[in-house]
Each structure stands twice: as C-alpha cells, then as structure tokens.
C-alpha cells in the first residue's frame, strides 16, 4: 500500500517546501548540464555592409571581439587599415574603397586586442557608369507641356 513502511507504519507526507526545493534542484541540474561552456573567440566576427560595392563607395564595418570595450583594427587590401571603436555593444567603423581599386574579392581581417581574429569577404566592382540616359524617343510629352494639355482636353471632349 502507498504511504506505508515495510513494517506496517505510515510514512509522513513530504512538505510543500521540500517538494519545491526538490523540483528546483532537478531543474537546476538540467539547466547546468545543458549549458555549454563559453569558448574564447566564440563571439568574434567582422561584417562589411554592403559586401559588394562599386569602387569609390563607402562600406560600413561592424565587428565583435568578445569584450567590445576596446578598439580593434580591421585591415583589407580593398581599403587599407581602419580602427573600429565601441558603439552600442559592437565595434563599428567605415571605410571608402578607392575609385581606382581593381575589381575582385578582398579579405577583410579583424584583429582584436586579445589576439583573436576573424575575417569576411568584400567584393569590389568597377563597372563603367553610363554618362547619359538611354535614347528612348523624342520625349515630346515630357518637355513641351502643350501636348499633355492637348491630350487632357481631347480626353475630356471625348468623354
């Protein structure tokens, strides 16, 4: 029978407090067993936005070095060396790709003060920009003004 000792005596019911403490200990054991230890360099990264850019344009850099209270260095053949500084929990900065930079993929390397590193890729484009708009017609309705008015009056008359 439930609640009885083998010798026939009655077992006392566990108190609510001891039940709660037991449940808490069980939950804590599961949480601690499931938590992975943090490894050094786990939160180290560098991002370049946009990751494809026309030569001569500016890119934004966002990085992390585990401890983002100190500035770090980002370097790339695409734009040289940039210091990223603490900003809202990250390290941020910007750089301009020179207009004469050859198109291609360039590694962007982060070096943290504690020696951790990370890298990303920046694609530089160097496409010739058209000097004028495409030839699409005479543009009579765009510049004269009278043709648009005539069409409006003709449409009203037809209605």
Helix ranges (H only) for the chain are 16-34, 140-143, 146-158
| CB of 56 closer than 8 Å to CB of 124 | no
Look up the pTM and report it. Answer: 0.56
In the chain, the percentage of residues whose pLDDT exceeds 90 is 48
Among the listed residues 24, 138, 48, the one whose alpha carbon sits nearest the alpha carbon of residue 97? 48
Mean pLDDT of the chain: 76
| Range picked from 22-26, 146-150, 153-157 for highest mean pLDDT | 153-157
| CB of 122 closer than 8 Å to CB of 99 | no
**Looking at 9-13, 60-64, 90-94, 122-126, which range is the least confident one?**
9-13
Span 12-39, mean pLDDT? Answer: 47
Quote the pLDDT of residue 35: 34
């Amino acid at each position: 029978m439930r609640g009885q000792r083998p010798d026939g005596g009655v077992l006392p019911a566990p108190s609510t407090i001891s039940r709660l403490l037991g449940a808490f200990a069980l939950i804590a054991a599961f949480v601690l067993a499931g938590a992975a230890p943090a490894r050094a360099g786990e939160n180290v990264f560098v991002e370049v936005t946009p990751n494809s850019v026309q030569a001569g344009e500016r890119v934004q850099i966002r990085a992390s070095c585990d401890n983002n209270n100190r500035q770090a260095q980002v370097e790339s053949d695409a734009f040289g060396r940039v210091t990223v500084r603490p900003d809202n929990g990250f390290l941020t900065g910007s750089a301009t790709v020179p207009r004469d930079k050859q198109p291609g993929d360039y590694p962007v390397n982060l070096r943290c003060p504690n020696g951790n590193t990370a890298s990303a890729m920046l694609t530089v484009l160097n496409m010739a920009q058209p000097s004028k708009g495409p030839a699409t017609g005479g543009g009579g309705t765009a510049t004269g003004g009278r043709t648009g008015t005539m069409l409006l009056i003709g449409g009203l008359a037809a209605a």
